[in-house]
């Protein structure tokens, strides 16, 4: 089949071809999508550019958005999604909402019915602009072919600038069929849109003054550190001023886990010391994080003794939940580079010892038995601990949502930035498998492992078909407790073990994998675990390993709803 070359500017093309050319000019190489009637002209135009653009046919449009998220999170590039109108477009919404709250840049392109049919309840017509408005950073409907290229270049600029997020471009079918003179001008600014505030030096000086006066400063590291590539600056700050660093869920992998200043993971099921000692620090330094309720617990009892310094690119997050004594608006990397020369060197042996003491308590009361249990059945923590040792902490780990997610975040130590991919703010079950597909597409030469629960796996299990068709060597580790484990834990602790519709009768996952030509193995005994994990990890092809774990294993420590971080429980 003869392939067309990239058409030069000022050539007449269809609107559909203008979409493809605009993607090429935006340096896109990968697309995740699912065709349908209203986007068929775009797919027809794509046919002539398959030597330049790789398209991955997902099995459900939600899978396309999650795959694009996984791709974006490990590559640093915006993920691109195609879907048709009506149900195709509405199936994107969950993934778009997930990307919005987790600051992941996506460019979603949807087909729409002919413009003269808009508002008539035509076949497969949905007001996707109205539906998606609350969960996108920006969206637009295009009804003329000449407006397609400008809309797409604007979409890429908005999605990737400042605090990243998802955008959606909805294109009517007549705009796709219509003719236009193709021209692409890269969008680099928009009137009244200022995505990255200029760092104010007075605020930096005020932050440095508070840090230099502190006896017990404490850094909370969020996703913004990774988004701004500020890992080296964060490390330099922590080392210079001898400040302990804890990570949010999405901030995992931004700070070296083996570093003596790294004290662990924050949140409802995070580490004991990082949560408890939030209420003992005198200066709390929040970098690229939004004080999510899973981090703060009861806000009225959160860090009341501390001065708060908040480094943040999005003005809407300042003082939204926790008031800041000093707010430094702007890109985290730029702000930290300005801060570093102004911060004094220090040593804080006694303060750091408090974290060590808490870590020792947590090891004795929680971790020791979790990773080396004397129970008959396998436990999730020991599986992840063993897998961490096999991989050396070097794999890209994509988790779904639930107990396995919390266990993985606690027991897997990520050696490299952007190697932890999970659904944070929205907590989307079904995220893990398709997101792992996208991560592997982005990093084909790295080990990508999806760690899933039996519940979330079945929400997007059809994406095994995407893995099969595109020959994507994703490793899949299913921790099967035959329950919706996180809900069951709450039912056990707070609802008198009334397990209302959380027990699951699961299918034969290995047989299902075999149906998709994916190798698989099931482990039920401890003596077989090590070899099975090694076999999965060493496989050159996609591999599914199901590990049957204890039904009623709980995740501790835990901060219960309404409790403060000081009230974290260990058992």
Point out the residues that are catalytic: 61, 123-124, 173, 486
453 within 8 A of 400, measured Cβ to Cβ: yes
Alpha carbon distance 115, 557 (integer Å)? 55
- How far apart are the C-alpha atoms of 498 and 492, rounded to whole Å? 7
Residue with tokens 């996108």: 136
Find all residues with CB under 8 Å of 514, minimum gap 6, and list them: 520
Q: Which of 517, 509, 511, 515 is nearest to 541 (CA)?
A: 517
Query: Which residue from 191, 206, 196, 137 is spatially nearest to 169, judged by alpha carbons?
Result: 137
* DSSP β-ladder status, 245-247 and 262-265: parallel
- Residues 257 and 415: beta-carbon distance below 8 Å: yes
How far, rounded to the nearest angstrom, does the alpha carbon of residue 144 sit from its chain's CA centroid? 35
Backbone angles phi, psi at 39, to 5 degrees: -110, 10
Q: Do 265 and 249 contact (CB within 8 A), yes or no?
A: yes
Burial of 490 (0-12, 13-18, 19+ CB in 10 A): middle
Short-list 279, 249, 274, CA closest to 261: 274
Q: How far apart are CA 303 and CA 314, in angstroms?
A: 22
Which residues, other chains included, contact 433 with Cβ-Cβ below 8 Å and sequence gap of 6+?
63, 66, 400, 450, 452, 457, 460, 461, 463, 464, 474, 476
The 138-142 sheet, strands edge to edge:
54-57, 30-33, 79-83, 106-112, 166-172, 138-142
Residue 216 DSSP label: S
Q: What are the tokens at 7? A: 């058409």
Which tokens sit at 518?
A: 């994916």
Q: Is 93 within 8 Å of 135 (Cβ atoms)?
A: yes
Nearest to 506 by CA among 461, 465, 471: 461
Residues 6+ apart with CB under 8 A from 501: none
Please count the helices (runs of H) and the strands (runs of E) in the chain: 24, 20
For residues 39 and 84, give the distance between their C-alpha atoms in angstroms, rounded to a whole number: 5
Closest to 160 measured CA to CA, from 128, 186, 182: 186
């Amino acid at each position: 089949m003869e392939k067309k070359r990239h058409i030069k500017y000022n050539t007449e093309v269809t609107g559909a071809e203008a979409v493809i050319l605009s993607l090429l000019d935006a340096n896109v190489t990968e697309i995740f999508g699912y065709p349908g009637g209203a986007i068929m002209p775009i797919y027809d135009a794509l046919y002539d550019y398959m030597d330049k653009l790789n398209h991955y046919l997902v099995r459900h449009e939600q899978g396309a958005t999650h795959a694009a998220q996984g791709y974006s999170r490990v590559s640093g590039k915006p993920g691109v999604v195609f879907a048709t109108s009506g149900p195709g477009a509405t199936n994107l919404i969950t993934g778009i909402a997930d990307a919005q709250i987790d600051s992941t840049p996506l460019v979603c392109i949807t087909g729409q019915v002919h413009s003269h049919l808009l508002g008539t309840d035509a076949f497969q017509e949905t007001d996707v602009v109205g539906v998606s408005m609350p969960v996108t950073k920006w969206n637009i409907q295009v009804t003329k072919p000449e407006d397609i290229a400008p809309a797409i270049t604007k979409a890429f600029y908005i999605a990737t600038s400042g605090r990243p997020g998802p955008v959606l471009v909805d294109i009517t079918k007549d705009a796709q069929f219509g003719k236009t003179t193709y021209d692409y001008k890269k969008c680099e600014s928009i009137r009244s849109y200022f995505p990255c505030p200029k760092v104010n030096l007075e605020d930096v000086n005020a932050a440095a003054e508070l840090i230099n006066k502190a006896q017990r400063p404490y850094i909370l590291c969020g996703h913004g550190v990774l988004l701004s590539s500020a890992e080296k600056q964060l490390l330099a700050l922590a080392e210079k001023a001898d400040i302990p660093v804890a990570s949010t869920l999405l901030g995992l992998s931004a700070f070296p886990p083996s570093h003596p200043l790294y004290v662990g993971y924050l949140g409802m099921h995070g580490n004991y010391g990082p949560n408890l000692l939030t209420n003992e620090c005198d200066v709390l330094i929040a970098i690229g994080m939004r004080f999510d309720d899973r981090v703060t617990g009861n806000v009225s009892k959160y860090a009341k003794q501390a001065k708060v310094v908040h480094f943040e690119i999005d003005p809407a997050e300042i003082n939204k939940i926790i008031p800041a004594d000093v707010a430094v608006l702007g890109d985290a990397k730029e702000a930290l580079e300005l801060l570093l020369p102004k911060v004094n060197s220090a040593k804080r042996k006694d303060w750091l010892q408090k974290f060590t003491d808490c870590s020792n308590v947590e090891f004795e009361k929680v971790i020791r038995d979790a990773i080396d249990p004397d129970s008959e059945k396998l436990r999730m923590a020991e599986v992840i601990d063993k897998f961490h040792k096999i991989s050396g902490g070097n794999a890209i780990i994509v988790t779904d949502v639930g107990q396995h997610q919390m266990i993985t975040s606690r027991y897997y130590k990520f050696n490299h930035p952007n190697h932890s991919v999970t659904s944070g703010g929205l907590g989307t079950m079904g995220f893990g498998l398709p997101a792992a597909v996208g991560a592997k597409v982005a990093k084909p030469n790295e080990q990508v492992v999806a760690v899933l629960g039996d519940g979330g796996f079945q929400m997007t299990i059809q994406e095994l078909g995407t893995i099969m068709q595109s020959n994507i060597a994703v490793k899949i580790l299913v921790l099967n407790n035959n329950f919706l484990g996180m809900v069951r834990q709450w039912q056990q602790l707070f609802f008198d073990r009334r397990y209302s519709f959380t027990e699951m009768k699961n299918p034969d996952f290995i047989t299902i994998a075999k149906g998709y030509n994916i190798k698989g193995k099931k482990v039920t005994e401890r003596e077989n675990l090590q070899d099975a994990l090694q076999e999965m990890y060493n496989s050159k092809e996609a591999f599914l390993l199901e590990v049957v774990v204890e039904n009623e294993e709980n995740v501790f420590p835990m901060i219960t709803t309404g409790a403060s971080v000081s009230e974290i429980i260990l058992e």
